[in-house]
Structure 1
């Protein structure tokens, strides 16, 4: 592999558009480590191609992504495709946080490489399941809410940690059990089993978001709990609605006062 430092490799992987090629590159990175991190490198952002994407799926506004009944094979495939797109975005998000932000401890970059690797495994599980149903990733439109927030926060690591892993990705902790139950009720135990794996791993991913958010707030003498509402307002984060998977959120490191804030926000009227 032609680069000397992990952060250079992460940017290269981020720019790869073919999902299979991207996945294989990340697996090699994960398996061939430990790498020199290059935490002090000043890496220039490419003028285009961030992140690398396949030609399909078509990216559309969220309201144009249709929801179908899970009682039909196509409806379940549509749901699994949406989840695969989330996982593909999550791969890119982990790569982006590695290359974009300099001067963090080596453990920061190693943690997010592990996240990228596990997101690859999730994506492959979902895409393989789609193939058994006669579909592949790219067959349905998708929206880009996760990456939109990454773009908004790209100049502020504190905001990125607060609003991507701890907010948007943490929604998966709440949604996974609900979606899993619906798939099981529809008789799709194979797909439901994939959701079990994803939830298990996503607790750890959100926990890393919490870990590094609180770490960097401590370094900057910021109150992590009091800062969060200001960041959510400044960067137009969606207000999360319950019910919340409180056991999973506690396992992921959310503090009691943070969970109280979530519950109060969910009760507010539009």
Structure 2
């Protein structure tokens, strides 16, 4: 009987409160599998944590205290870039879990399915980059990391529309803009293994942004508001950075970010 099943909210919360990176990635993929297989009840009997559990390493620093990675194509610079990307994917696991657990009761099973799928993808991305760091003689946690990434979750915890506007439609969409240049940098350094990992990630991120734009469009329809204008308003209220060109227009269009929406934001 469904009532006897563990709840999806409890499973999500447990994954978010798993500190060890490898264990968090495995727990997240298990939650996504269990949900897809019908082994978790659509019930929200526990609250999501204000902050997810974090390992002792990496040391988390404010953005203005992060060491410079340096310019050029040095091996250390590339290693630092892989570490930074690995940390982004690690935090992205919890961002997707939190979306499913915090707003799933309000938005329904399809929303939960989409964001648990995103969380499983982010866990896989993290694992690929962590494995690449080990292959290059380093490991996740060997360098400091940016402590500002979870701010977007705190800032938008009250409103699912704000969460969608900022996390998939700004933060993940920015990855579509910058990752092709990053891939080219690794290709130029003859590191085709890392380049292939990043290409896999950017291909998946197009789908993640599309989930965001699709669910955001449904919300706008329900609220009777034009999507471009509401997106512009929410980003202005809840995103601390700037959104400016150059944009990866083709990838953004594939993800459902229309020229009309980008024009509204610009």
TM-score where L is the length of structure 2 = 0.91
CA pair 34-91 structure 1, distance change in 2 beyond 3 A: same
Whether 1:113 aligns to 2:116 is yes
Corresponding position of 1:64: 65
Equivalences for residues 235-246 of structure 1 within 5 A = 235-246=238-249
Whether 1:150 aligns to 2:191 is no
Equivalences for residues 74-89 of structure 1 within 5 A = 74-89=76-91
Equivalent pair of 2:44/2:101 in contact (CA under 8 Å): no
Whether 1:230 aligns to 2:233 is yes
How far off its partner does 1:90 sit? 0.7
Equivalences for residues 197-212 of structure 1 within 5 A = 197-212=200-215
**2:187 counterpart SS class:** helix
Equivalent pair of 2:93/2:123 in contact (CA under 8 Å): yes
Stretches of structure 2 lacking an aligned partner (at least 5 in a row): none
Partners of 1:144 and 1:160 in 2: how far apart?
18
Equivalences for residues 111-260 of structure 1 within 5 A = 111-260=114-263
Partners of 2:249 and 2:144 in 1: how far apart?
31
Paired residue for 2:99, among 97, 100, 123? Answer: 97
Paired residue for 2:75, among 46, 50, 73? Answer: 73
How far off its partner does 1:72 sit? 2.0
How far off its partner does 1:37 sit? 6.0
Whether 1:27 aligns to 2:34 is no
Partners of 2:162 and 2:242 in 1: how far apart?
15
More displaced, 102-111 or 246-255?
102-111
Equivalent pair of 2:229/2:264 in contact (CA under 8 Å): no
RMSD: 1.8
Equivalent pair of 2:168/2:209 in contact (CA under 8 Å): yes
Stretches of structure 1 lacking an aligned partner (at least 5 in a row): 266-270
**2:146 counterpart SS class:** coil
